[in-house]
Amino acid sequence: MNVIHSDRLSLGASLLRWWSALSISKRVCSVICLLYLLMALFGPVFAPYGADDFSSSSLLPPSWEHLLGTDEMGHDIFSMLLQGFRLSIGVSLLAGGGSTLVGTLLAFASCYFPRVGGLIRHLANLMLILPEMVVILFVAIFAAPTMANTVLAIVFFSWPRVFRIAHAKILACMGKNKVQYTLLLGGNVLDVARKVGRDLYPVFGTLLVLQCNRAVTYETTLAFFGIGDPLLKTWGRLIRSALNYENFFYDTTFLWYLLPALLCVVGFVASLSILIFDEDRIKDD
């Protein structure tokens, strides 16, 4: 009897294989992303002041006491930036992960139950026609200004993109022999899901990174319009506060007020984009 080799590698082996296949620039970007994650987890521990502490004088330029100066109310900008790591990356992961999960589950459900799938596909097509950002803005204005509502709004309107890509891939995968055998032998939903998942988890990984990328963009744009919890200073909120400063265009305050948060956002988005960039077949929307 032939021994059937399992094609599953251990976690460590598959990580090692993934790492060795990366180019230099991608390795740099994955290290940067890891640094961002570490900052999100441990950054606020090193903050010299609390993010809510506004006992300092207002609008001080950078000094040894306040590495990035203070804002109009007296918050220390460096501490707010560190807090922003946790908040922005947290929102990005929650919203990106949530929309990927919802889109993938709906795609799988629509492939497994074709009749319901038709309805979901039409709904997704309609939601793709509507400009997402405007609808998210609309929802966020009417709803109470909490972080949870922001995340839910982003998840609710980003899943169609994931759905479209995942649906095509899952459909192709379900046509394969091994899935057809499973169905023939009376396998239930979970068996089929496991077979499909094993083949397609790289695709889902890419989709997750794409969605996290997009979630940061949405959150920043929402904060730019002043939407969201005003007490939770994500990077977008910090940028909005910098823009609200009355002399923003005329003096050099923006160098230490706007620029750090801006660079954090751009750095995060850029390294995520480069990470999923594939020279041979560039991922497009």
Partner 1 sequence: MKRGAAFVAKYLIYLALIVCISFFLPRLLPGSPLSVLDESTVSQNMGASSQAFQAYYAPDRPLPEQFVRYLGHLFQGDLGYSLTAKRPVLEMIGQSIGWSLLLAGLSLAVGIPLGIWYGIRAGMRENRRSFRGVALVVLQGIPVVLLATVAQLVLCYQLQIFPKRGAYCVGMTPGEPGYWLDVLAHMALPLLIMTLTEIPSIAIFAYNSTMRMKGEQFVRMANYLQIPQKVIRRRYILPNILPELLGKLSIQCITCLAGTLFVESVFSYPGIGLLLRTATANRDYTLMQGILLVVCVLGLVISGIFDLLIHRNAEKC
Instruction: State the residues that interact with partner 1 by CB under 8 A.
Output: 25, 126, 128-135, 137-139, 141-146, 149, 213, 216-217, 220-221, 224-227, 239, 243, 248-250, 254, 258, 262, 265-266, 269-270, 272-274, 277, 279, 281-282, 284-285
* Smallest distance, partner 1 to C-beta of residue 24, A: 12
* Smallest distance, partner 1 to C-beta of residue 204, A: 20
DSSP 43: G
For residue 165, the one-letter residue type is: I
Smaller CB separation from partner 1, 196 or 222: 222
Smaller CB separation from partner 1, 196 or 215: 215
Structure tokens at 200: 């397609």
Cα-flanking dihedrals φ and ψ of residue 9, to 5°? Answer: -95, 160
Smaller CB separation from partner 1, 171 or 274: 274
Structure tokens at 150: 């922001």
Smaller CB separation from partner 1, 196 or 242: 242
In angstroms, the CA 61 to CA 257 distance is 9
Contacts of 19 (CB under 8 A, 6+ apart): 27, 30
In angstroms, the CA 269 to CA 67 distance is 24
Smaller CB separation from partner 1, 44 or 103: 103
In angstroms, the CA 33 to CA 39 distance is 10
* Smallest distance, partner 1 to C-beta of residue 96, A: 13
Smaller CB separation from partner 1, 98 or 228: 228
* Smallest distance, partner 1 to C-beta of residue 142, A: 4
* Smallest distance, partner 1 to C-beta of residue 5, A: 33
* Smallest distance, partner 1 to C-beta of residue 110, A: 18
CA dihedral 248, 254, 260, 266 (to 10 degrees): 60
Contacts of 41 (CB under 8 A, 6+ apart): 86
Contacts of 241 (CB under 8 A, 6+ apart): 71, 72, 233, 257
Smaller CB separation from partner 1, 86 or 161: 161
* Smallest distance, partner 1 to C-beta of residue 268, A: 9
Dihedral sign of CA atoms 20, 271, 83, 75 in order = positive
In angstroms, the CA 62 to CA 68 distance is 5
